[in-house]
Amino acid sequence: MFVKHRCCWAIKTNNMKQLSTISILFFLLTVSCAPVPSFTEYTFEAMQQGSHRLTIPELKLSLELPSAWQNRPNIHESDRLVMYHFRRDTIMDAQGRVIIPTTALIIEDIPEGVDAIEYAINVRIRDSFNQFTDVVYKPGFFGEIGGVAHVATYIDPEQIKHRIVLFCTVKEKKGVEIIMDGTESVFDDLKDEYDSILQSLKQVPD
């Protein structure tokens, strides 16, 4: 049975509870700026060692997802934004809970002239996260793409603490937000995967 929350999806079974960490992503489908054109055209190429590279030609951006992440994204589109949503294979934490980490790539319209830093500040003000760190990645870490990343936390409706990596940039005059979300209990286990996703960001030539 699926029990929907604003900040996560809880999937309950007879033997265990699976926590799917979608954060506030579906909430963001109704809270954004001006209408954004469709960015749902993409390619998904199999790479070595089972990973896959997602390319969005209109955004001139691609990133690579490790093999543990599902092969195809779920795409959620409104007149305000487009979200590519990926679930990872389940991982069990020290408390015996089965966690389903998620990654979402969100594309939205932004006002003319807004740069990555200003966009990142606006995202921090808008989104329901707290305990933001300062910038945690050095310039040049994000592959070929410049941007700003933070680690943040939030408490879901079941009072479970999540620790996320939040990356913001501006591409083709669009705001681009990547949220990598898992409970705090598995953050250390997933950190290398999160880092590899950010380091895989590439500029797609015309």
User: Would you say residue 171 lies in a domain?
Assistant: yes
Per-residue pLDDT tens digits for 54-98? 999 889 999 999 999 987 889 998 877 899 999 999 999 999 999
User: Would you say residue 82 lies in a domain?
Assistant: yes
User: Would you say residue 149 lies in a domain?
Assistant: yes
DSSP string, the chain: -EEE-SS-EEEE-SS-EEEE--TTHHHHTTS-SS--------EEEE-GGG-EEEEEGGGTEEEEE-TTB-SS-EEEE-SSEEEEEEEBPPEE-TTS-EEE-EEEEEEEE--TT--HHHHHHHHHHHSS-BS--S--S-TT-STT---EEEEEEEE-TTS-EEEEEEEEEEETTEEEEEEEEEEGGGHHHHHHHHHHHHHT-EEPP-
Task: Return the CATH number at 56.
Answer: 3.40.1000.10
Structural domain containing residue 180: 31-86+102-203
Per-residue pLDDT tens digits for 106-147? 999 999 999 988 998 888 888 777 766 655 565 567 778 888
Residue 129's pLDDT is 74
- Report the pLDDT averaged over residues 11-31: 40
> How many independent structural domains does the chain possess?
1
Residue 144's pLDDT is 80
